[in-house]
Structure 1
């Protein structure tokens, strides 16, 4: 396969994203309907077998997205693996705790790494449609979603049932109603008591606000380039702003007019999310060279073993780099 064909297979354009509208058990619950779920790289934790997946090969982590209009919620749930979000459009109110009693509002470019063993949900606030990218650690769903019992109760009567093996049954789409013994059991009060709680102040170390990004010149001391080390392990060589053990890390590169990052490679798996502006990626792999221009919202999985450069083509560009390790090797 030519390098250009690999590029085409590894590229997901924002304008070509295909949503799923019944990916989870709460997808038809009033107040949690009217939302789009996207599996961009890997199937993530989508419970529906009908969910479209753009790129199935994960190589260590999953990239997804959530899009929804104002007032629509993603219900309280927890994960056994890392879950990180980067807000792309609109404003999201994140709420967490067993009763969703704590909250924070995040907007464009804000990043949050939500700890495991913690119930969380989110809704779009304000007047604009909201969209954010999500990163899930691990090659698979890590055991799927752990739903708050109230979410499972509220979903009853809307045609979606969650089985004990984590699969979703959609009776409106023709599936048979499962028998009661097949259904996911509700968490008991004793099990709920084992989940953690964080105040809003305790959650702030897990948040990197766009206005507070701190540039680091650790890899590229290049004119018109700012590099940010946003999330990663507290013992990593990089001084990450959010110090969390997530199995993944997030870097970001802000290129002003004329800015570029030279050709380089990393041993870790890399996925680029082009957040703002237009960015040209020039790749070299096994003696071949090819290029691709990433526009706003595009996602590109860098082929294993390839080196690449980034060049700003228009305005200021901001590109996130998701790495398949929370202790990435310094260049």
Structure 2
């Protein structure tokens, strides 16, 4: 397989995303239905075996997305691995705590790294369809989702059953009704008491608002380049705005028209999410070179071991880099674009 063929397989276009509408136990519960769940890189924590996965190969983290109309909720749940969100469009009200008693509203370009062992959910507020990208730590996402017991209770009667192994049974789609002993047991009150809670003030250090992004000294001497360090380990070489030990980190590059950054490799897995503008990506590996153009909302998984360069083709472009380490090293540059 040529390098060009490999990178074409690693590119997922925003306009070609295929949603799943029954990925989770709450997918038909009134008020939580009408959700679109996208598995872009890796199967994430989708409970349905029928969920479409665009790229199955992962390298320490999964990239997914959630899309939903106003008023529709993603119900209270928790994870044992990192869960980070980048809001792409619309307004999302995040709520958390054992009763969902705390909240914050995030919008375009806002990033949140939600602590583990904490119940969280979200809904779209305002008038527009909302869409945001998600990052889940771990190749297997830590064994799936832990649902608040009320979510499982509320889902009864709509044809979806969650088994103890984390798989979803859909009787509307022809699956047989499972036996009671096969079902996921509900958390007890004692188990609920082991989950953490954060006030809104305590949660804000885990949020990087787009309007508050601050530039860092760029790794590249190119003009017209702004670099942002958004989430990463407190001990990292970079001064990340959100300091959290997630095993993943997020940086971003803002390029003015015609600006570029040279081919480089940080020695970790990287996935690029093109947020705004048109960005040309030039990939170098084993003496080969291949190019692609990312438009708004496209996702590209950089091949393991490859170097890549970025060039803005028009207007301003904005590209996130999700990395498979919360302690990313400085890039090794190979050559100019």
SS in 2 for 1:252: strand
CA RMSD of aligned residues (A): 0.6
Distance 1:15 1:218 in 2: 32
**Unaligned stretches of 5+ in structure 1?**
none
Report what 2:334 is aligned to: none
Report what 2:69 is aligned to: 69
- Counting only pairs closer than 5 Å after superposition, residues 99-248 of structure 1 correspond to structure 2 as 99-248=99-248
Structure 1 residue 306, shift from structure 2 partner? 1.0
SS in 2 for 1:240: coil
Q: Which of 261-270 and 43-52 deviates more? A: 261-270
Report what 1:85 is aligned to: 85
- Deviations along 1:64-113, one digit per CA (max 9) or x if unpaired, are 00000000000000000000000001000000000000000000000000
Report what 1:253 is aligned to: 253
Does the 8 A contact of 2:61 with 2:141 survive in 1?
A: no
Distance 1:139 1:132 in 2: 21
- Deviations along 1:285-329, one digit per CA (max 9) or x if unpaired, are 111111000000000000111111100011111000000000001
Runs of at least 4 residues off by over 4 Å: none
Distance 2:49 2:217 in 1: 44
Distance 1:273 1:218 in 2: 19
Tell me whether 1:308 sits opposite 2:308 in the alignment: yes
Distance 1:153 1:265 in 2: 48
SS in 1 for 2:109: coil
Superposition TM-score, scaled by structure 2 size: 0.97
Structure 1 residue 218, shift from structure 2 partner? 4.0
Distance 1:103 1:320 in 2: 25
Superposition TM-score, scaled by structure 1 size: 0.99
Distance 2:214 2:89 in 1: 22
Report what 1:330 is aligned to: 330
- Deviations along 1:212-231, one digit per CA (max 9) or x if unpaired, are 00101241232111000000
Tell me whether 1:33 sits opposite 2:42 in the alignment: no
**How many residue pairs align between the two structures?**
331
Structure 1 residue 157, shift from structure 2 partner? 0.1
Distance 1:73 1:90 in 2: 14
SS in 2 for 1:142: helix
Distance 1:264 1:17 in 2: 28
Report what 2:6 is aligned to: 6
Distance 1:220 1:246 in 2: 26
**Unaligned stretches of 5+ in structure 2?**
332-337
Report what 1:297 is aligned to: 297
Distance 1:304 1:192 in 2: 40
- Deviations along 1:156-188, one digit per CA (max 9) or x if unpaired, are 000000000000000000000011110000000
- Deviations along 1:113-141, one digit per CA (max 9) or x if unpaired, are 00000000000000000000000000112
- Deviations along 1:215-262, one digit per CA (max 9) or x if unpaired, are 012412321110000000011111100000101000000001121111
